Structures are given as C-alpha cells and as structure tokens.
Structure 1
Amino acid sequence: MTPLILALSFLTRLPMPRVEADEADFAAAIRLYPVAGLVIGAIVAGALRLGAIVNPWAGALAALIAWVWVTGALHLDGLADLSDGLGAAHGDRSRLLAVMADPHIGSFGVVTLVMQLLAKLVLLHALALAAWPIVALIPAAARVGPLIWARVLPPLRPGGLGALVSRAVRPFDMIAWIMVVLLLGLAYPPLVTAPLVIVALSLWFRRKLGGVTGDVHGAGIELTETALLLAAVLYARP
C-alpha cells in the first residue's frame, strides 16, 4: 500500500496519509504510475459525465478543471518548461537545460499551455456524449510513457527525477504495462495507439534532446494524453 500512496502523493493533489518509506518503496511507487493515472482518469471521467448532464461544453470544462486540479498542473509545468527550452535553445543543449531549469515561464511556454488546454477542452467536448468512459483510461495509458522513456533514453540530469525513474524501472515493468494497455485496447481500440505515440515521442526526445528529465516526462504525459483523446474522438465519429 505504501508505494501506491507515494505514487498518488507525487502525481496528484489528493490528500494522502504520511507514510515511512525507503528507496525500494519509492522505486515501487514509480512502477505504479499507471495505477495513479487510473485514479486521475476516474475523477476526470466523473466530472465529464456529471457536467455533460447540463451540456457537453459544461462537461468538457468540468473535466478539464478536474484534470488540472487533481494533477496540480504538474505535467503542464513540464510541458511549458520544455517548450521554453526548445524555443530559446537554438540547438544548444546546455542552454536548453538551463532554460528548462529556470522557474519562470516564457512566451513559448505560455502559448503552448494555452494550446494544450484548448485542445483538451475541445476533445473532451467531443467525448462528453460519446465514448466518455475511455477518458478514465487515457491518463493511465499515458503514464506508461515514463516507464518506457526511462528505459530507452538516458537521464539528462544525473541527480534529477529522470535518473530516479531510470533506476526504478525494470524491463518487466515496461513490458507488463504495455501488454496491459494492448489488452485494454481490445475493448477500447483507441488505447492501442498509446504505445505508438510513446515510441514516437521517444524518438523525438532522443533527436531533439538526447535524453529525458522530469520536465520531459511531464511534457510527454501531456502530449500522450492529448494524442489519445484525439484518437478516441476519431474512433467515436460515425
């Protein structure tokens, strides 16, 4: 139970009891990221369904607010930092990392956040009266991404979150979660695209950055979630 509490404490704003934990517990918590994602997804899907009783836009807005609240905008912050770094680095990797480490947000980050939130809002609206149950599974599938990126990409900051994830994730964890997502894809076909999106992002992160950081993990989760929402909308179209 301790690893799950730690995973929820890190990835959500849900009130969790204080627990004594060692390095093994933290490693196990990282392997449970998709389970924490399922909790996030259940809250978002519930808000979507309740809001949709009023109308689809109310459902979409309720779901988006719930999504941002329950995650504490943690991954949005990573997406903004990555956008600022890529926009200001001009190919200089050391400058990219320096910009990403800056706590201030720049114009690239602001524009990216606005576009990301608008994209989620519109896609959630499209799902409010159609395939809304899949919304509960999308955050879980997206959080398989860090387990894969940690195994195939080097950490850019040896002492950072990316390095911690890479030490915690075993090949078995990566393979097992991919199989779970593919099995769920038998009932919800849009989820089958999750491994493809995650692999595509792996290749992009390697080419543009050469590795991963905690911010990159967060950005990847956000981009994967939006891609899966889009896949769900396209699949739900008559």
Structure 2
Amino acid sequence: MVNLYGWAFWYAMAFLTRLPVPYLKRTDAQVAAASLIFYPVVGLLLGATLLLFTLACVVYSPQVSSLLLAALVLAIWVFFSGALHLDGLADSADAWVGGLGSKEKTLAIMKDPQSGPMGVTVLIITLLIKFAAIYALFEQTLNHGIGNSWLLCGGLILVPVMARSSVLAFLATTSYVRSEGLASALLQGATVTRCVVIAAMIAVTCVVLLQTQAIFILALWLTLIALARQIMMKRIGGCTGDTLGAAIEVQEAVLLAAIAL
C-alpha cells in the first residue's frame, strides 16, 4: 500500500508539473487512480515553494522591490508546471473560438501544437492578471507590515491548492472525451467522497487564512468550477487535459485577483 501511494505521488507530480521525477516503475490504472489524492499536495508544494522563495528574498534584501519580486514569483509559478497548464489554456482558447458550433472541430484544434491569436491574447491577459494580483499582495504585506501575512499565505499557498483540487471535481462529474487508456482510471479515482473531504479541508484552511474573505472566496471558487464544467459539457460533452489545464489557470488568476482586491 505504501509503495502504491509512493508511486501515485510521483505520478501526480509528473502529470501536473515538468519537474524531474524518479523513473515511474508503475503507471498502471491503480496508481493513476490513487494519484488524484495528491493533486492538492502538488498545489501545496508549489505554494510552499513560492512562499519560501518570497521570504528568502525579503530576508536577503528587506527593501526588495515588490514589482521585481512579483515577476520572479510568477516566473517560478510558471516554471513549476513547465507552462503545461498555460499551454492547455492557449489551446482551449483557440479551440473555443475556431471550433464554434462543432465538437469535432474544437477537439481537432486543441490538438494543434501551434497557438493562434486568441490563445496568445488569453495567455497575456491571464499572466498580467496574475502578475498584478501578486504585486498587489506584496504591496499589502511586505510594504505595510507583516500583519497581512495570512493574506499572502492565502494567495500563494491556498490558490494553487484550490485550482488543482478542482480537477477531481471535473473528473467526478464529467467524462473524459478522448479515448486514452488511463482516462477511465482517473475517472474512477475521482470519487465524490474524495471531493467532499478535500473541499472540506480547503474550506477550513480558507477560513483560517482569509477569515472574513473566506466565504466569498469559497463561493467564487465553486462558481468558477460550476461555470467551467458547464462550458466544457456544452461544447465537447466532457473534459480533456487541455480544458483541465485551462480551468486551473483561470481559477488561479481570478482567485488571486479576488484575494488581492
């Protein structure tokens, strides 16, 4: 059992990031299904990395520019996933515009490795929103006392966890539209029980970190999940790796902006 969850963790890391992982001796359906419980953990590792990097920069240079620090944090954020989710966002944006009215055309465009004007535009807007939100969080915390440090933790740690946890909700309530071998295993691993438990843990953490903002942020998160699911179901009747990546990126941008407001 320990061995199963060990490989499941590394499977989740390989699926959600582009960081080097040990050679996966097991990639069977059982490992794929178990890997879903580690999606929030991957988000937590990302968030912890961002927060520790921020603290290290502040200790090294107490007068560090919030503008520069925001750019560096965003660069690490993108590097952690190898721009994997951004690629899914660009592909989905191109597909939703170019494949309007056709499921088959939408799926075909998503497989095209080249990004069109809409994909590039959406990428720029998303990254700008993220950058501005991170900068605003730093301005509220680093330059105006550490009293708002919980807000910074909420933005850098909670947001990556929430966005990646939502993948379980999509897999639990939709079908995977492409015929890939391990897709059925992922769907089986996304049980309602796991979704409820993870959502409850996130809700408690959200209340602790964001306090008065918690209810609004949680409601916004659930609304984003519901809207993304509706959009996916209406156009392609389910989800793909690209649409899941797009959902992660959109959630991160919107939630970061909401916390920073």
Report if TM-score (shorter chain) is over 0.5: yes
Query: Identity, % of aligned pairs?
Result: 31
**Structure 1 residues 212, 71: closer, same or farther in 2, change over 3 A?**
same
Aligned counterpart for 1:150 among listed residues 171, 193, 196: 171
How large is the Cα RMSD of the aligned pairs? 1.9
**How does 1:220-235 map onto structure 2 within 5 Å?**
220-234=247-261
Q: Distance in 1 between matches of 2:163 and 2:133?
A: 16
Contact 2:40 2:162 in 1 (8 A): yes
Aligned to 1:12: 17
Q: Distance in 2 between matches of 1:197 and 1:89?
A: 22
Of stretches 186-195 and 207-216 in structure 1, the one that deviates more from structure 2 is: 186-195
Contact 2:177 2:240 in 1 (8 A): yes
Unaligned runs of 5+ in 2: 1-5, 142-150
Of stretches 44-53 and 179-188 in structure 1, the one that deviates more from structure 2 is: 44-53
Of stretches 28-37 and 66-75 in structure 1, the one that deviates more from structure 2 is: 28-37
Unaligned runs of 5+ in 1: none
Once the two structures are TM-superposed, the CA of residue 161 in structure 1 deviates from its matched residue by 6.8
Of stretches 42-51 and 32-41 in structure 1, the one that deviates more from structure 2 is: 42-51
**How does 1:3-42 map onto structure 2 within 5 Å?**
3-21=8-26, 22-42=28-48
Aligned to 1:178: 199
Aligned to 1:97: 107
**Bigger radius of gyration:** 2
Alignment pair present for 1:139 and 2:144: no
Instruction: Give the length in aligned residue pairs.
Output: 234
Residue 146 of structure 1 aligns to a residue whose secondary structure is: helix
Alignment pair present for 1:65 and 2:70: no
TM-score, scaled relative to structure 2: 0.83
Contact 1:48 1:62 in 2 (8 A): no
Of stretches 41-50 and 138-147 in structure 1, the one that deviates more from structure 2 is: 41-50
Contact 1:60 1:125 in 2 (8 A): yes
Of stretches 60-69 and 89-98 in structure 1, the one that deviates more from structure 2 is: 89-98
Contact 1:34 1:143 in 2 (8 A): yes
Q: Any idea what the Cα deviations from partners look like across 1:132-163, whole Å, max 9, x if unmatched? A: 21111211111111100111122221327755
Of stretches 78-87 and 154-163 in structure 1, the one that deviates more from structure 2 is: 154-163
